[in-house]
Structure 1
Amino acid sequence: MLESGKRAPDFELSDQDGQRHTLQSLLADGPLILYFYPADFTPGCTKEACSFRDLHQELQKARLRVVGVSPQDVASHRRFAEEHGLNFTLLADPGKRTVKAYGVDGPLGIGVRRGTYLIARDGTIIDSVLADLRIGAHEAFVRKAIESGAKLK
């Protein structure tokens, strides 16, 4: 994981609709919660994504945007988002270049570690959490970000 206070690495990835996004474009409207997850449709990743979906109204009030990143392709992300009614952007990183840049590549380069970053509008990492098996730690992290949302603008 990257340290708080460091600049978040930029990237350019496609979302579930095939639209390209950079870190800077995602930060245009305010702070960002950027989370990395192992795979679409797995029980833990589905639970995590649905918990973020269910926080949508609170996230909007706090002017925070959630974006997920995993190695699956655009088509997989589209199916995952549609099946679970996900109301946020999922980015495809099949080469895991962004996964590696954010320090969440799995051991020996296998898989992806579950990590979540809070990134300020200027691209500075404010805070992060790495918890592979404690999925609830990521929801708690996002709730904490929502509570401090007014200070992030």
Structure 2
Amino acid sequence: MDPVQTVDWSMLPAPHDDGACDHLTQLRLPSIQLPATVGGPIDPGQLDGTVVIYVYPMTGRPDRSLPSGWNDIPGARGCTPQSCAFRDHYQELRSAGATHVFGPSNQSPEDQREAADRLHMPFPLLSDADGQFAGQLRLPSFEADGQRRLKRVTLITRDGAIVKIFYPVFPPDRNAEDVLNWLKQQEA
């Protein structure tokens, strides 16, 4: 497994709830086929059961520099620790009722595949490189080095309808545990 660097989250600017996800409660996911790192395209909006979708800005690659000022953008840093936490809690999330877990970003399918392979992800990462999924849901975003990046938000859906939103997500490495605790509360 790829070791995850320990991050002192107190040294980074925390995102604040700007209300950009308030409209998502009870929305249905759009029916859009997203390229996946495993198998063919996946349409999260057509899946039955409880689906966890953690949307993130981008996973850095060892062979590329991060966008300039990345650490100064509230909530930008932490995609790898977040993904690794979902990887490490994957079986627990499944046991708590998640039928699927996905990690979409607007990175290319190739970048998503590189991250999935390097991080040994047990579930597919999805690519919304054309922005259709994020656009139809009106997901919040920011700009870094002239590229639009999605803000970090986690959606839990049941049979295609959003039932829980985690936004803003900070620190990102705790998100999987927060989702797991919420799922367990639903079982009780």
Query: Same fold by TM-score, threshold 0.5 exceeded?
Result: yes
The answer on whether the counterparts of 1:48 and 1:135 sit within 8 Å (CA) in structure 2 is yes
Cα RMSD for the two superposed structures: 2.3
| Aligned residue in 2 for 1:49 | 83
3-state SS of paired residue (1:15): coil
Which one has the bigger helix percentage? 1
The secondary structure found in structure 1 opposite 2:34 is strand
Answer yes or no: is the 8 Å Cα contact 1:106–1:113 preserved in 2: yes
Listed one character per residue, the Cα deviations across residues 68-106 of structure 1 (whole Å, up to 9, x for unaligned) are 111112221111111111111111111111122223241
Q: Which amino acid aligns with 1:40?
A: T
Aligned 8 A contact 1:96 1:105 in 2: no
1:140: how far off?
Answer: 4.1
Specify the alignment match of 2:92 in structure 1.
58
The answer to whether structure 1 residue 129 and structure 2 residue 166 are counterparts is: yes
TM-score normalised over the length of structure 1: 0.83
Which protein has the larger Cα radius of gyration, Structure 1 or Structure 2?
A: 2
Q: Is the 8 A contact 1:118 1:145 kept in 2?
A: no
Structure 1 residue 6: Cα displacement: 2.4
How many pairs were matched up?
Answer: 148
Residue 24 (structure 1) shift: 4.2
State the distance in 2 between where 1:138 and 1:102 align. Answer: 21
Stretches of structure 1 lacking an aligned partner (at least 5 in a row): none
Identity of aligned residues (%): 24
Q: In structure 2, do the counterparts of structure 1 residues 112 and 127 end up closer, same or farther at CA, with 3 Å as the change threshold? A: same
Q: Which AA in structure 1 matches 2:88?
A: D
TM-score after normalising by structure 2? 0.69
Partner AA of 2:44 in structure 1: L
**Aligned partner (choices 147, 150, 154) of residue 112 of structure 1:** 150
Q: Secondary structure at the match of 1:67?
A: strand
3-state DSSP of counterpart to 1:126 = strand
Q: Label 1:61 to 1:17 Cα distance change in 2 as closer, same or farther (>3 A).
A: closer
After the TM superposition, list the runs of 4 or more consecutive aligned residues in structure 1 that deviate by more than 4 angstroms.
none
Residues 1:147 and 2:184 are matched in the alignment: yes
Question: Is the counterpart of residue 7 in structure 1 residue 36 in structure 2?
Answer: no
Partner residue of 1:72? 107
